[in-house]
Amino acid sequence: MFIYTTTPGEWKEIQTRKAFHDARFPMEGFIHCSYPDQTLWVLNKHYQKEKTVILLVIDPGKLASPWTSEDLKNRGEEFPHVYGPINLSAVVASHDISREDDGVFHENHILTRMINA
| Cβ 84 vs Cβ 65: under 8 Å | yes
CATH of the domain at 78: 3.20.170.20
pLDDT at position 63 is 98
Neighbours of 76 (CB within 10 A): 6
Q: How many domains does the chain contain in total? A: 1
Residue 27 to residue 5: CA distance in whole angstroms: 18
Cα first-last separation, the chain: 10
In this model, does residue 59 exceed pLDDT 90?
A: yes
- Mean pLDDT taken over the chain: 94
pTM: 0.93
Is 49 part of a structural domain of the chain? yes
Nearest to 15 by CA among 75, 88, 72, 117: 88
Residue 4 to residue 114: CA distance in whole angstroms: 13
Is 43 part of a structural domain of the chain? yes
